Chain A
């Protein structure tokens, strides 16, 4: 079981780009899929997208135009960029190890990102 830790600014201004990094420990980032999932306060889970260690990606169509997920295997990290944010993007953002079809196997503790001026 790997451990995942999100890091990045907790406050982002409207229209700017949200950037988060997930550091994976206790295992290699290679050979797995890695997802970002978010949860607005008091609401349910929304999958943002995943990246395979090789770099191939799959994004939620509702966010695809604003999302970029990248991976840095040398640092055992993967990252999320969400552009042109609004208050609706305020949420707890989780990084996770994903096994598509089977389930989201391991989750980070989550980080709250607030979009506000």
Chain B
């Protein structure tokens, strides 16, 4: 049981937009930055978003992050088949790094 709650799966067609939610509480998301990670099949996770909405260099602006209260959202526009992956949110909770359970994105 993860501290952060994500939908197990989402899907959308190529070229469309999708959002992935991450729900927490005041002890984690409510008082800390949120980060997002992409894990392509068989590979290590990669940082997509940090500080709620900042993108590391090399991450396209198709990926965006936002936070409101105790929830956060990852948005992906212009979906590509190469975006099929597991996506994880992460933050801190009582000096402990925590992750969501992950969301599998299927690009139909």
Contact = CB atoms under 8 A, between A and B. Distances in A.
Interface of A: 35, 44-47, 50, 58, 60-61, 94, 98-110
A100 B44 CA distance: 19
Interface stretch (B11-19, B72-80, B98-106): B98-106
A107 B43 CA distance: 10
B47 A101 contact: no
Interface of B: 2, 32-33, 35, 37, 43-47, 49-51, 56, 88, 90, 92, 95-102
A47 B56 CA distance: 21
Contacts of B2: 44
A107 B47 CA distance: 9
B20 to A, nearest CB: 14
A-side binding surface: helix, strand, loop or mixed?
strand
B44 A105 contact: no
13 contacts: A44-B2, A44-B99, A44-B100, A45-B37, A94-B44, A101-B32, A101-B92, A103-B33, A103-B50, A104-B47, A105-B50, A105-B56, A107-B45
